[in-house]
Structure 1
Amino acid sequence: MDLVRGFWRKHRRKILVTTTCLGSGYLLYKLYNAHTRKLADLERELANELENDEIIKTQMKAHFENIQMIADSTTLPHAMRHLSSRIVEEIHVSSIMEKLSKGKGTLTPSEKLQLWNELKILSFTRMVLSLWSVTMLSLYIRVQVNILGRHLYIDTARGLGSSHLLEELDLIDRDDEQKFLASADYLASNGMLSLISNMQSAVKEVLKGKQLKDVLTTKVLEETVIRILDVFMSTGSPHHWVDYLMMAQDATMLPSDTTTTDVPSSDSTVSKFHLLITETREVLTSTDFTNVAEISLKSCTVALVEEMEKQTGLATGMQVAKLLPQIEKTTPEISAEPEKNRFLQLIRDLPEVQLFFTLLYSNMPL
């Protein structure tokens, strides 16, 4: 016992220091080990988050490309064919030209003048209306695609935060998606008659001082078309032209089949479609969209007049009466099939249009 006490007295300091070091070392080891495990857990969580981000991006890209494919291969071509046929059906230019052709030698001067004036109004109406309709419809469909893409992002991100598996997420109801894209036919099916009437009023106002013998140059024709568009767009309430492109906001809340009143419609389906339409209207009535639409219309007007200049002597001036047949020859090119339509390609390639839709798709608050 004395030996132990002596050893303790002699080596107490060393023992305490050694014990303290060993204890501290063990504690540091435990802390380091815990910290290492925590870092490993964080790294795994980060890896999982990155993997989820990649899954989100992959699904976003796949779904958005699918929607884009539907728009380019189905929605836009169908809408353009429908639009073109409706314009031809409702603006009867060919019948007047036929009367003029068959009436040579039999029509009185006043009858002939009246028919020529009708042809002047209808030809300009058809040309400017085609230009406006194709431009606005192509922009409208692209707005639809980007809004669907935005909803895809939001629904996917929210879904990953829940207990649902990503594969089980129904990001956007397919019926809503198809119904929303099908609304691109509203212009041709529902808005055409009032659009023609108001566009024709704008044409009459701008052309009331122009006679059949007046000479138009490239610059004057371009200014005339732009003036007609300005009068049309500015007549009536602000953004009145949106009502030609899409149904009234309240109409989206009505059930699609009013005969089956005993089966209540899905509130989520109705509200989802209503939300899509509401967002679309908000975009169309925004200042940014109005600016993009004006730039697109101006660019297409310039391209149209340049095309007519190549085929006629418009650069040096041409009488209105001689210009009308050329207008009729060129106008169908405006609403040609998308793959052959240089005006649609022109709109897609405009830097302002590309920037607008890039910002529209990327602006996705959660």
Structure 2
Amino acid sequence: MLSLSRGLWNRHRRKLFIALGALGGGYVIYKFYDAHRRRVTLLERQLEGVREVDELIKSQLQNHFENIQRISDTTTLPYAMHYLKSRIAGDLDVSYLTEKLRQAKGQYSTLTTKDKAELWERLKILSFTRLTTSVWSMTVLCLYVKVLVNILGRHLYVDIARGSESSETLDEVESFGRHGHQEFLATADYLSTYGISKLIMNMQSAAAEVLKDKQLKDPFSMEKLHEMIMQILQLFMSIESPNYWISYLVPENAVTYRQMMALPFSGFEDTSALMDAGKLEQLVSETWAVLSSPEFRNITELSLNKLVNVLVEEIDMQLKGGSSSAPGAIPLVTLLPRVTQLAPQLLDEPSSNKFIQIIQSLPEVQFFYTLVYSNMPPLS
């Protein structure tokens, strides 16, 4: 019996080994497949979780972005614009010139013809200086405040996402205070506080240069008026150096600026509004980089050109007086009162300021702020 079993084993052992090998290999393959299937299922669950988190982040980013824009429109810009309007009204007041010219028409005026000509010349230059200063400062301040708030908003969002800040929703402007960033937001007033005097001086130089050969009796079409205003603005933007105008808006030295800003807080126990000097320097540096970028200059020039178009159309409509006929060429002296009257309107409250709304509705401007907030692609 034993010999029979051995015979069977010898004759069929190769087949048995192959069968056992096949069974063993199949089991191993099944185990590999089962492990792989489990890994794929786990990975799919993880990917689904990642997608859900990604959608949540996108939603939070959009909500946060909209909150940042609302803060800019309802708080930061109105306050800065109010201060700017008061500075321009005070530093470029032309009422004393118009009053002297009105008195010069009187029977007992002692002004000579030369005196009257000098008054008219000063009124001509100051009127256009006031208009171009108003349109430039309003446009650039509007754009700058948006840049400023979006840079800060991006930093706060990243800080919150990393867990270094609380997860509170930034629905109110006080949220910026809780994060100690008023100091950076306060640079919105840098133009009105420190930059406006130099701005006016250079704008007046540009206006005097462009207007030096323009006589009060010279006829001006609306196209020629538009061209002259743009010449003043373009000459102003190139005074000293191509990007010198940035110094009107942003402190060149964050440390020095921080020392100046520390004074208003020196009498208070709560100094949380004073952020770390390194953080302020980083934010100011990023702001300079954005304002120096070709993209920002492009939207600035686009906005200025658009607003000058609107201003010239306003003057044209006033001169027509409701008539559909074109007024033709108008003496420069007739245009001066219109130019003087339009300047203050440019600096009205942002919520009712159609000029600001025109800027903010430009698709190129809206897209630019999306890039600033997301920091993609790089702006430098």
TM over 0.5: yes
Q: CA deviation at 1:152?
A: 5.0
Matched residue count = 360
Q: 2:338 aligns with which of 321, 326, 339?
A: 326
The answer to which of 140-149 and 206-215 deviates more is 140-149
Structure 2 distance, partners of 1:125, 1:73, is 29
Percent of aligned pairs with the same amino acid: 46
Please give the secondary structure, in 2, of the residue aligned with 1:66: helix
Q: TM-score, normalised by structure 1?
A: 0.86
> In the alignment, residue 333 of structure 1 is paired with which amino acid?
Q
CA distance in 2, matches of 1:174, 1:282: 27
Alignment match, 1:309? 316
Write out aligned runs for 1:52-67 (5 A).
52-67=53-68
Q: By how many angstroms is 1:266 displaced?
A: 11
Deviation at 1:116, TM superposition (A): 2.3
Separation in 2 of the partners of 1:213 and 1:115? 15
The residue type equivalent to 1:97 in the other structure is T
Aligned amino acid, residue 332 of structure 1: P
Counterpart pick for 1:114 among 112, 118, 125: 118
Contact 2:182 2:274 (8 Å CA) reproduced:
no
Counterpart of 2:323?
none
- Kindly indicate whether the alpha-carbon contact (under 8 Å) linking 2:181 and 2:274 is maintained by their aligned counterparts in 1: no
Q: CA RMSD in A?
A: 3.2
Q: Greater shift after overlay, 227-236 or 174-183?
A: 174-183
For 2:169 and 2:276, the matched residues in 1 are separated by: 16
1:345 is the counterpart of 2:357: yes
Q: AA paired with 1:198? A: N
Q: Identify the residue that residue 237 of structure 2 maps to in structure 1.
A: 233
C-alpha distance 222-44 of structure 1, shift in aligned 2 (>3 A): same
Map Cα deviations across residues 134-169 of structure 1 (whole Å, 9 max, x no partner). 111111122223323443565466x28xxx799499
Query: Aligned pair in 2 of structure 1 residues 165, 342: CA closer, same or farther (>3 Å)?
Result: closer
Output one character per residue of 1:2-28: Cα deviation in whole Å (capped at 9) or x when no partner: 264355345434432332222112111
8 Å Cα contact 1:252/1:277 also seen in 2 = no
Counterpart in 2 of 1:199? 203
Match of 1:292 in 2: 299
* Counterpart-to-counterpart distance in 1, 2:36 and 2:165: 31
Q: Following the alignment from structure 1 to structure 2, what is the Cα–Cα distance between the partners of residues 74 and 319?
A: 42
**Residues 232-265 of structure 1 deviation map (CA, whole Å, 9 limit, x = unaligned):** 11111231111111112344674543769xx999
Structure 1 169/22 Cα, relative in aligned 2: closer, same or farther at 3 Å? farther
Match of 2:80 in 1: 79
Give runs of aligned pairs for residues 80-95 of structure 1, distance below 5 A.
80-95=81-96
Contact in 2 for aligned 1:249/1:278 (Cα 8 Å): no
Residues 233/167 of structure 1: CA separation in 2 closer, same or farther (3 Å cut) = closer
Contact (CA 8 Å) 2:183, 2:275: kept in 1 or not?
A: no
The 2-side partners of 1:65 and 1:292 are apart by 21
Whole-angstrom CA distance in 2 between matches of 1:7 and 1:214: 125
Q: Distance in 2 between matches of 1:156 and 1:52?
A: 15
Q: Which moved more, 1:106-115 or 1:177-186?
A: 106-115
CA drift at 1:187: 0.8
The CA distance in 1 between the partners of 2:105 and 2:375, in whole Å, is 62
2:251 paired with 1:257:
no
Shift in alpha-carbon separation, 1:69–1:104, aligned structure 2, 3 A: same
Pair 1:137-2:141 in alignment: yes
Instruction: For 2:168 and 2:342, locate their aligned partners in 1 and report how far apart those are by CA, in whole Å.
Output: 51
Q: Greater shift after overlay, 84-93 or 106-115?
A: 106-115
Q: For residues 271 and 71 of structure 2, what CA distance do their matches in structure 1 show?
A: 30
Find the counterpart in structure 2 of residue 32 from structure 1.
33
Amino acid across the alignment from 2:295: D
CA distance in 2, matches of 1:165, 1:357: 24
- Mapped to 2, the partners of 1:202 and 1:237 lie a distance apart of 14
**Residue type of the alignment partner of 1:312:** L
Aligned partner letter, 1:24: G
Structure 1: gaps of 5 or more residues: none
Shift of 1:189: 1.6
Instruction: Give the stretch that moved more between structures: 323-332 or 340-349.
Output: 340-349
Distance 2:144 2:127 in 1: 25
Q: Rate the CA distance shift 1:209–1:165 in 2: closer, same or farther, 3 A.
A: closer
1:266-301 Cα shifts (integer Å, max 9, x gaps) = 998222221111011011112222222122212211
User: Out of 262, 275, 280, which is 2:282 matched to?
Assistant: 275
Q: Is the 8 A contact 1:154 1:364 kept in 2?
A: no
Look up the SS of the partner of 1:235 in the other structure: coil
Other structure's SS at 2:306 match: helix
Structure 2 distance, partners of 1:243, 1:193, is: 12
Specify every segment of 5 or more residues in structure 2 that has no aligned partner in the other structure, as ranges: 321-325
Match of 2:283, SS?
helix
- Asked if the contact 1:176/1:272 (under 8 Å) is kept, the reply is no
* Cα separation, 2, equivalents of 1:32 and 1:186: 67
Alpha-carbon distance, 1:46 to partner? 1.9
The secondary structure found in structure 2 opposite 1:148 is helix
